[in-house]
Structure formats: structure tokens, C-alpha cells
Amino acid sequence: MRCFLLLSLLISLISFSQTKSFNNPVPTRQQLAWHEMEFYLFAHFGPNTFTDKEWGEGTEPEDIFNPTNLDCRQWCRVAKAAGAKGIIITAKHHDGFCLWPSKYSTHTVRESKWKNGKGDVLKELSQACKEYGLKFGVYISPWDRNHPKYGTPEYNDVFVNMMKEIFTNYGPIWELWWDGANGEGPNGKKQVYDWDRFKKTVRKLSPNTVIFSDVGPDIRWCGNEKGIAGKTNWNLLDTVGFTPGAGAPAVDILNRGNENGKNWIPAECDVSIRPGWFYHREEDDKVKTPEELFQLYLKSVGRGANLLLNVPPDRTGSINGKDSSALVGFKKLRDESFKNNLANSAKHSVSAGDSVKEIWQIHFSKPVKINCVVLKEEIKNGQAIEKFSLELKNDAGVIAYLGATVGRKRVITFPVVETNSIFLKSKGKIKTIEVYLIPENLIEK
């Protein structure tokens, strides 16, 4: 890929597909809508914001949580300016502290001095998301380092009742995020989670909610917290015998999926804009740059996954200016890079081939410089394309870029070349082909 120093006369993009006649999982209507979300924000917020911890002990006094000027509408303005389509809030992290006044815990905002115990973060954020046209999501950790019933069968009742409160009082909830962490509780016991009951509870309360965990049932973890999907990324996963957390498949399987998996469970890439997940003042100068965020976009959304970017509010209850500035810069890079689809001014033709389902041809009236091709597969019918080859030809020969799956979107970048024709051969159904010339410093590193 680093030796494209040539004048290109022809680009041929060839895609292949393995037949899956015995198994062809397809996304649900809710999952298809989730795929189109593409990019949204995570908001880690709670006692850890005020203690400078990443994992709280559950013994923190409730009064430690006291944002001086909570402004969830500002979070939404920042999200909109970043081009994000939703926000997922850590309603309850491992410390057990609830950002809503739950009837099933004594470790909540109700016991804090914030707003004299009358505050409710979930209420304010859910209302703000509705006002700004953003989707509202909730992270709720099954692990609870505070609750005295954790480690007993009764705790599963507690967790189910907490979810009922959330869905009843703060819906609609577009995505529910289950962390699979499972440590000891204050009673020294580990919990046996009733995952099946948890899932059935959500399905009954809110059938349109997509559920995230290591193994879904709707969305899976990408296997790392770096925000990077596999270069091979199947939306398919086998889940029989696996559970979230310690019982999950190996991280490399989560990263790439199962080629012949029996369930449609696409990958979500979570990563923080800062080194930590919660706000720490000493990290104000360590916020990822717009260029670094663009690279994460290429390696998540550009590999068929979704990007969940954590942007933690500070102790005032607002998003720091350095974070919001980086997000605005990130949005500008995306807008400028993908505003001029050169394929729009070219002639297109699609025909059937003997050994392929279709052949796409794109002809430009005169040679154009390009360094980015975006492919979209018609995933409503399943995922079929397993590899592709980007071939650049000239009188000296051929240089090829070998890639893997396409899925909902595949962004391919390379050093600038000049061409007047693009050919695409595919056994899988390609939905669209886009062609761009993006700033050279933004091609995938």
C-alpha cells in the first residue's frame, strides 16, 4: 500500500463472496436502524468524576456526587455539533451509584446533597435528547459494589426492577448497554446473573431497544477499548455456550465475528476521547485530536462497525471545551472529506457476469485524482462479501490492495492516484460506490 507512486490508468475493485446457503442471518428492523446511527457519544459520569477513580469501590459517600451546574442540554449541543446521533449515559457503574432516585438502592442521587436530593440525571438527559432530536441510551452495570444483596438470587430481582424503572420513567431507550464485569460484592460473593431473564424483561418492556453486551443479543463488543474493528469484520456471531463478561468468546473472535455465525450481532467500537473513561482534570491536555478521531472513524465505521466515543462530563456537569473543540474539528474533517463524491459526475453501468452477480463500471470523462473509495453492501439481505482486491494498473504492471469484508460500509484509503475508470465485480450485493479525494494526511495509518 505504501508504493502507489504511479500514474494510474485503471482501477479494478474485485469482490468475492462465500455462499452461505445453509445459514444467512439478516438484521432486524431495529438493527438496521442501529447500523445507520454510525457514530454517537458515551458519557461516563458519576462518583468517579469527583474521586478521580475509574472503578469506584461502592463505599463513596453519596454527597461526593455534586455537579455544580449540570447541563445536559449542553451535552446535546456538543453531540449535535459533532454529528453524533445519540448519547449513552452510565446510569449505574460498578460502584452501584444510581444517577436516578431508584427505589431499589440507597446509593443514589436521592441520598446526595445535589439539588437537595431532588436531582435526576436520567430525567434531565432523556428530556434534553428529545429536545435536540438525539437518541437516548443507558449503560447499567450488573456488577454492584454497594448493594448488600449482590451475590444472592435476590439481586437479580433488584437489577430487573431497576431496568423496569429506567424503561418506564425515561423511555424511549434506543440502546441498553450491559457491562459484563462480575466481581465480589460487599458480602464477598459473586453474582450469578440471570441473563435470560434480563433479556426477556427488556424485550417485554421495550421491543425496539437494541441490547449491547459481549455477545449481544443485538450488538456485540468489538473486543478492545481502542475503538478499532477487525479488518475482517463479520456482522455474524455464534453465541451458544457463551455469556457476557468472563464467559464471552475470545477477543479476536469478538473483533472479527464468525464468518458463518448463526446470529446477526454486529460490532460496536467503544473508545474514550481521553486516556480515562471518567473526567480527570490532569487529562485536559491529552484529548484526542480531530485527526486522531478521524483515524478511529476509518477503523470503526470504515470497517462496518459503529463508533461509540466516550466524552466524559466534568465536575460542573458540562463537557470540557477542549473535548468539544476536538469534536467540532472531527466533524469538519468528515464533512470536508466526504462532501464531493466524484462518482456523482461519472457514468455508471451495472451488468451481470458469468461468475459474478454483477459488474459495476464507473467511467470519468477525464482522469481524476482519488485516494478513497467507499463501498456499502446491501446488508438487509445479509452479509456475503468476504474479500476484495483493489487493483491499480499501469504500463508497468499491477499493484493490489487486499482487503476483507464490506458490510454496512467499507472505507478504503490509499496514496493519491489518477484514473478514469473503476470496475467492481461482486457476488455480494453492493448498494453504493463512492469515490473521494480526501486530505492526504487523513488516509488510514
Q: Which tops the pLDDT comparison, 233 or 356?
A: 233
Q: How far is CA 261 from CA 230, 233, 383, in A?
A: 16, 12, 11
Q: What is the pLDDT of residue 17?
A: 37
In whole angstroms, give the CA distance from residue 162 to residue 140.
9
In whole angstroms, give the CA distance from residue 216 to residue 263.
9
18 has a pLDDT exceeding 50: no
Indicate the pTM of the whole model. 0.94
Read off the pLDDT of residues 204-240 as tens digits, 9 standing for 90 and up. Answer: 999 999 999 999 999 999 999 999 999 999 999 999 9
Lowest mean pLDDT among 91-100, 262-271, 369-378: 369-378
In whole angstroms, give the CA distance from residue 55 to residue 136.
24
In whole angstroms, give the CA distance from residue 8 to residue 420.
8
Q: Which tops the pLDDT comparison, 377 or 7?
A: 377
- Residue 13 backbone class (left: φ over 0; alpha: ψ -120 to 50; beta: rest): beta
pLDDT tier, 16 (very low <50, low <70, confident <90, very high otherwise): very low
Burial of 128 (0-12, 13-18, 19+ CB in 10 A): buried
Q: What is the pLDDT of residue 73?
A: 98
State the Cα angle at 414 between 396 and 253, rounded to 5°: 120
pLDDT tier, 397 (very low <50, low <70, confident <90, very high otherwise): low
Pairing of β 358-377 and β 410-426 = antiparallel
Read off the pLDDT of residues 47-99 as tens digits, 9 standing for 90 and up. Answer: 999 999 999 999 999 999 999 999 999 999 999 999 999 999 999 999 999 99
Q: Domains of the chain by range and CATH?
A: 10-21+340-442 (2.60.120.260), 29-337 (3.20.20.80)
In whole angstroms, give the CA distance from residue 312 to residue 44.
5
In whole angstroms, give the CA distance from residue 208 to residue 300.
24
User: CA nearest 42: which of 184, 172, 139?
Assistant: 139
Q: What is the pLDDT of residue 360?
A: 78
**Average pLDDT of the residues in 117-132:** 98
Q: What is the pLDDT of residue 7?
A: 32
13 has a pLDDT exceeding 50: no
352 has a pLDDT exceeding 50: yes
**Average pLDDT of the residues in 395-404:** 65
Lowest mean pLDDT among 43-57, 108-122, 181-195, 341-355: 341-355
